[in-house]
C-alpha cells in the first residue's frame, strides 16, 4: 500500500514539473496562488491596469494581482485587490436611494 502511495505521489509530482516547464517555456515565469497552484496557464486572467493582471485561481477561487512592468519578474501585489478592485465595484454598486 505504501508503494502505491509513493508511486501516485511521484506521478503527481512529475505532472506538476512538466506543467511548470511548459509555463516557463510559454510565459517565462510561473505565478503562483497562495495555495501553491500555478496561475498563468489555466486560471482566469484580466488586465486591470498597465502591466497589472488579476488572476483567479481555479483551485481555491482566490484573486491574486501581479505587476509585470516594474521588475524582471512579476511582483505579487498583496493588498491591491482589496484596496482597489473592491472599492471600484462598491462605488459602482452604490445607487442613491430614491432613484
- C-alpha cell read off for 93: 454598486
**Domain-embedded: residue 99:** no
Q: Is residue 10 part of a domain?
A: yes
Do the domain assignments include residue 32? yes
Query: Does residue 88 form part of some domain?
Result: yes
- Residue 36 included in any domain: yes
Q: Give the Å distances, CA to CA, from 35 to 38, 87, 89.
A: 9, 25, 25
| 30 vs 55: CA distance, rounded Å | 12
Show contacts of 47-50: CB within 8 Å, 24+ apart.
Answer: 48/84, 48/85
Q: Inform me whether the pLDDT recorded for 82 exceeds 70.
A: no
Domain span at residue 12? 2-93
40-59: per-residue pLDDT in tens?
Answer: 887 788 888 888 888 999 88
Nearest to 13 by CA among 23, 24, 5, 2: 5
- To the question of pTM greater than 0.85 for the whole model, the response is no
The verdict on residue 98 lying in a domain is no
Number of domains comprising the chain: 1
Residue with cell 459602482: 92
The pLDDT confidence band at residue 1, using thresholds 50, 70 and 90, is: confident
Say if CB 58 and CB 43 are below 8 A apart: yes
Amino acid at each position: 500500500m505504501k508503494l502505491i502511495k509513493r508511486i501516485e505521489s511521484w506521478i503527481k509530482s512529475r505532472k506538476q514539473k512538466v506543467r511548470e516547464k511548459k509555463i516557463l517555456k510559454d510565459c517565462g515565469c510561473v505565478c503562483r496562488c497562495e495555495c501553491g497552484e500555478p496561475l498563468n496557464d489555466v486560471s482566469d486572467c484580466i488586465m486591470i491596469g498597465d502591466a497589472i493582471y488579476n488572476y483567479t485561481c481555479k483551485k481555491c477561487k482566490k484573486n491574486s494581482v501581479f505587476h509585470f512592468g516594474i521588475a524582471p519578474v512579476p511582483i505579487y501585489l498583496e493588498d491591491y485587490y482589496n484596496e482597489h478592485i473592491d472599492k471600484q465595484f462598491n462605488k459602482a454598486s452604490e445607487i442613491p436611494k430614491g432613484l
